Structure 1
Amino acid sequence: MISDPLFWAVAIPAIFIDGISKGGFGGGLGVVAVPIMAVAINPVQAAAIMLPILCIMDWLNIWAYRGRWEVREARLLILSGMLGITIGTFTFRWLNEDAVRVLLGVLSLGFTLNWAWKQWHRIGAERQLYNVRKGILWGSLTGFTSFVAHAGGPPANVYLLPRQLDKTTYQATTALLFAVTNMIKLIPYAWLGQLSVGNLSTSAALIPIGLLGIQAGVWAHHHLPDRWFYISLYVLLGVLGVKLLWGGLGALL
């Protein structure tokens, strides 16, 4: 188990934030957990420690929103996400995590700015219909970025937000999506030797923090009106875009 006090000082708030995001806001802000933990340890090890914690949090999330998901949307994103996970598995040794952060940052920020421009000019956002091609594209990217850095939230949001689902249906759908995706990721993570005894012991010690975060997020979800729920999601996506773009470009340059 990791004994560095700096690691615990950054890991505890990072995982609590991740739990709140997962439990109430579609998991988007959870993308910051690995970068925050990477202040104290290697990003690859941070991702390995996070995965078992995410799996446990996911199942509490599933219970909280059981039966409220849109099965067709979740199935499309899960199946296409498996393609992204497969690509991530076989390119793992050559992946540049900072380049992935830049890509996610550009997508997230661009999507949010487009929404903000429409709001400013009072252009009604047209509800997009179920679309297999878009689902495969964004689902594959969700699986890939989720495998690399547990950062599947932004591409999943790019596809799901324009669907304008009821806020609880949206939350339940993302809960189901990431519960299955993270369980699938256990196989390649184990195959790549990332689930060591030390990492698993550290994960086990942090699980209660994540579960507390989930409960806080569920409470926030049920006390926030639909309009403000979606506004908060778009704002979170924009903040994440800036964070990812700044961090990725800073490391690459």
Structure 2
Amino acid sequence: MPLVTEPLFWALAIPAFLITGISKGGFASGAGNVAVPLMALAVPAPQAAGIALPVLCAMDIAGLRAWWGKWSRRELLAILPGGLLGIALGTAVFGLLGDRQVKLMVGVISLAFLARSLWQARPGRVAPPPAQPDRWRGGFWSALSGLTSTVAHAGGPPLAVYLYPLRLDRAKLVATTVVFFGVINYVKLVPYFFLGQLSAQNLLTSLVLLPLAPIGVALGVWMAKRIEDRLFYRIVYVMLFVTGVKLVWDGLGL
């Protein structure tokens, strides 16, 4: 078929990319991990990753325009080398995994991110003092981020483990994250091409979904200035729980 025609795919992909764009626009910036998990409920997980990448690249351009010049140069120097190493590792892993294995990995990452987020938001938690920058720690978590981003565009949680404790101001955190994943996503185009994930069907499907990129990012920029993140996070957490459980179930062949 020239593009994916499964109705369930489109019912899941449209809200997934809007949520991802909203997150890249700076609203609930840790919540943009739903695109591949949701689409993987309707198409093979590797195909979902291939469809997602061109749309994510378009979102990165819109995100960079919105947050230009507000990033932390110090933190980017700490995390970009590890991220590029993670892409190399992720490319090697990607070529060895089948659909069930990728679904299992995406499901586990989704549930682990959800568990960590709920633990940190638990009532009565006393926030620790800001962590100190550490190039080795940043390199480790960014390499893991590059790996999981290559396999399933799920690099947000590992990077958050390093960046969030630094307590950067909101604009600097969002801008640094946008630049990091902008570089990572454009570099990933090369291995995705050689892995066969940028097929004609995937690219045409991405093209149809492309208008959601600027719409989602613009909504995120608008919402970041006017609305609290709490309700949006709750909706995303419910979606991540349901999709994570389903993907783990499918990945285990239950």
TM-score above 0.5: yes
Partner in structure 2 of residue 210 of structure 1: 213
Secondary structure of residue in 2 paired with 1:31: coil
Change in 2 beyond 3 A, CA 1:14/1:109: closer
Q: Which amino acid in structure 1 is aligned with residue 188 of structure 2?
A: K
Alignment-derived partner of residue 24 in structure 2: 22
Q: CA contact under 8 A between 2:108 and 2:248: conserved in structure 1?
A: no
Instruction: Percent identity, please.
Output: 40
Distance, in Å, in 2 between the alignment partners of 1:85 and 1:249 is 24
Task: Give the TM-score taking structure 2 as reference length.
Answer: 0.86
The residue aligned with 2:248 is 249
Aligned positions of 1:1-253 closer than 5 A: 1-6=2-7, 7-25=9-27, 27-95=29-97, 96-101=101-106, 103-105=108-110, 107-117=112-122, 120-121=123-124, 123-224=126-227, 228-229=228-229, 242=241, 245-251=244-250, 252=252, 253=254
Alignment partners' CA distance in 2, 1:189 and 1:29 = 24
Structure 2: distance between partners of 1:153 and 1:123 = 23
CA offset digits 1:9-40 (Å, max 9, x no partner): 32222111111111123653222111211232
Aligned partner letter, 1:108: F
Q: Against the structure 1 CA distance between its residues 238 and 153, is the aligned structure 2 distance closer, same or farther, given a 3 Å change threshold?
A: same
Structure with more helix by fraction: 1
1:125/1:233 CA distance change after superposition, 3 Å:
farther
1:48/1:66 CA distance change after superposition, 3 Å: same
Measured at CA, do residues 144 and 122 of structure 1 come closer, stay the same or move farther in structure 2, by a change above 3 Å? closer
CA-to-aligned-CA distance 1:76-112 (integer Å, 9 cap, x gap): 2221011111111112232322442355246424533
Query: Aligned-pair distance for 1:198?
Result: 2.1
| Residue-by-residue CA offset, 1:121-159 (whole Å, 9 max, x unaligned) | 352321001012221121011001100111111111121
Q: Once superposed, what is the RMSD of the aligned Cα atoms?
A: 2.5
Q: 1:160-192, CA deviations, whole angstroms, 9 ceiling, x for partnerless residues?
A: 111111111111111101100000100100111
Aligned mates of 1:26, 1:247 — CA distance in 2: 24
Deviations 1:38-81 (A, max 9, x none): 23222111111110111011011001000000112123222101
SS of equivalent to 2:31:
helix
Which ranges of structure 2 fall in alignment gaps of 5 or more residues? none
Inter-partner Cα distance in structure 2 for 1:236 and 1:132 = 34
Partners of 2:40 and 2:103 within 8 A in 1:
no
Change (3 A) 1:47 1:221: same
Deviation of 1:209 after TM superposition, in Å, equals 1.2
